[in-house]
Structure 1
Amino acid sequence: MIDLDATDRAILRALQQDATLAASALGRRIGLSQPAAWRRIKRLTEAGVLGARSLDLDLEALGFGVTVFLGVKLALKGRVSLQDFERAVSAIPEVQTVEHVLGLYDFRLRVVARDLPDFERVLRRRIMTLPGVGQVEANVLLSEERRPGPLG
């Protein structure tokens, strides 16, 4: 674990809001020179605090109006069935996240679809046919509030 000072936390908060900030713009925002900001970003990246920067797409604007969270309980337990399921479900483009969880279900999936009939097609033809799928529970996302995280 790396020790973070107030400047490191300010950098992380700024990058949480806009991961595209260049070191020069980031430095101006928090009162550092470009080289000093770059060195801190490099140190945070090398320590594993900062990972790959990603783009946040507006799924609704792209035509994906429905998001569903699926709880999936596998019918067969065992290391092979977990790995087989995870590999197969990860290949489905509508599945945005695959989380192996502890609790009532073995996996939690975030699935996007154009509409409910499209989701039903993905569920019936792709997800329910995967190896080891047993019980499935669906929860449709009504609204989402993004939280900045513990540094916010």
Structure 2
Amino acid sequence: MNPLTLAPIDREILACLQDDPRMSMAALAEKTNSSTSPCWRRVKRMEEAGLIQGYRLDLNRRALGYGIDGFLFVKISSHHETHAMEFERALAPIEQVLSCHILSGQEDYLLRVVEQDLDSFAQFMRKVIACLPHVREVRSALIMQTVKESSRLPLPR
């Protein structure tokens, strides 16, 4: 599905679901001045087209005991495809790593990591991340305060 082919009702549906992904189909239809069946078909079509990739639940990291939220900048020793794939495969099952991004510039990867406290963050960086295959250097930056965080995308007009 091309964003240019989105009907105004599709954009309205997406905006509502970004506000509240748990919204019932009846409530969504009411909010978009539609009826339930056509609204459900539109949502299904956007899911099948890959426009809607899923629905998520946001947990409170502090309530779960993760007091540290930070970034790790990782340089690997080689840019050979096999080395990068080995690093990425080793990283994938590590639950403290919330996201991993390949970067342009000086560092190769940016990881977002949560840990219980500063000591466990430092140990995690040294004993887990630095020991992954092909890691040459790891630098960290702790998030002091989050000013804005959103997974909401602007919808094309």
User: TM-score, normalised to structure 1's length?
Assistant: 0.93
Structure 2: segments with no counterpart, 5+ residues: none
Are the aligned partners of 2:13 and 2:32 in contact in 1 as well (CA < 8 Å)? Answer: yes
How many Å separate the matches in 1 of 2:45 and 2:69?
A: 36
User: Which residue pairs with 1:107 in the alignment?
Assistant: 109
Deviation for aligned residue 1:56: 1.1
Q: 1:146 aligns with which of 130, 142, 149?
A: 149
How many Å separate the matches in 2 of 1:19 and 1:79?
A: 38
User: Which residue pairs with 2:136 in the alignment?
Assistant: 134
Over the matched positions of the two proteins, sequence identity in percent amounts to 35
What is the DSSP-based 3-state SS (H/G/I as helix, E as strand, rest coil) of the residue aligned with 2:111? strand
How many Å separate the matches in 1 of 2:154 and 2:44?
A: 21
How many residue pairs align between the two structures? Answer: 152
How many Å separate the matches in 2 of 1:143 and 1:4?
A: 37
Deviation for aligned residue 1:149: 2.4
User: TM-score, normalised to structure 2's length?
Assistant: 0.90
How many Å separate the matches in 2 of 1:101 and 1:47?
A: 28
How many Å separate the matches in 2 of 1:141 and 1:11?
A: 34
Letter in 2 for 1:127: I
Deviation for aligned residue 1:67: 0.7
Deviation for aligned residue 1:76: 2.1
How many Å separate the matches in 2 of 1:45 and 1:21?
A: 16
What is the DSSP-based 3-state SS (H/G/I as helix, E as strand, rest coil) of the residue aligned with 2:88? helix
Deviation for aligned residue 1:33: 0.9
Two-structure CA RMSD over aligned residues (Å): 1.5
Letter in 1 for 2:149: R
Letter in 1 for 2:154: P
Letter in 2 for 1:146: E
User: Which residue pairs with 2:63 in the alignment?
Assistant: 61
Structure 1 residue ranges, 4+ long, deviating more than 6 angstroms after superposition: none
Alignment of 1:2-151 (within 5 A): 2=3, 3-144=5-146, 145-147=148-150, 148-151=152-155
Letter in 1 for 2:39: A
